[in-house]
Amino acid sequence: MSKGLRAIGLIGWVLWSLCSAPTAVAMQQVDPEVRLIELGITLPSPPKPVANYVNGVQTGNLIFLAGKGPKRADGTEMRGKLGRDLTIEEGYEGARLTAINQLAVLKDMLGDLNRVVRVVKVLGMVNSDPDFVEQPAVINGFSDLIVSVFGERGKHARAAVGMASLPRGQAVEIEMIVEVRE
Mean pLDDT calculated for residue range 103-109: 97
Report pLDDT for 131: 97
Domain ranges of the chain: 24-180
- Look at strands 157-163 and 62-68 and give their pairing: unpaired
pLDDT (0 to 100) of residue 159: 98
Domain 24-180 has CATH 3.30.200.20: no
Can you tell me the distance from the alpha carbon of 108 to that of 45, in angstroms, rounded to the nearest whole number? 8
Q: What is the pLDDT of residues 70-102, one digit of tens each?
A: 999 899 999 999 999 999 999 999 999 999 999
Secondary element (H or E) of residue 101: helix 88-110
